Amino acid sequence: MPTDDWQFWVATAFAIGGILVVARPFLPKRRKSDAGCPGCPSGEHGGDAAPKPKRVDLTIGGKRVR
């Protein structure tokens, strides 16, 4: 291996980056912190209201179903 060649290290860095890009969907996701507002110095958040559910229209064969 030509470990004293700068091109070897550039190609190695690209190869490692490519492997990480390909493997990323298979790696476990990081857990979010328990802080309500990570940007706030106190860690508090604006309220305890749950997010509103998203409503969508159901269509079958292009016709709206209720």
- Range 26-48 average pLDDT: 65
What the block records as the tokens of 52 is: 């509103």
CA distance 29 to 2: 36
Range of the domain at 22: 1-28
Q: What is the DSSP letter of 38?
A: T
Is there a domain that residue 55 lies in?
no
The set of residues, in sequence order, having a beta carbon less than 8 Å from that of 64 and lying 6+ positions away, is: 57, 58
pLDDT at 35 over 80: no
Q: Is residue 66 part of a domain?
A: no
Whether 7 is in a domain gets the answer yes
β-bridge partners, 58 = 65
- pLDDT band, residue 43 (cuts 50/70/90): low
At 18, is the pLDDT very low, low, confident or very high (cuts 50, 70, 90)? very high
| Count of structural domains within the chain | 1
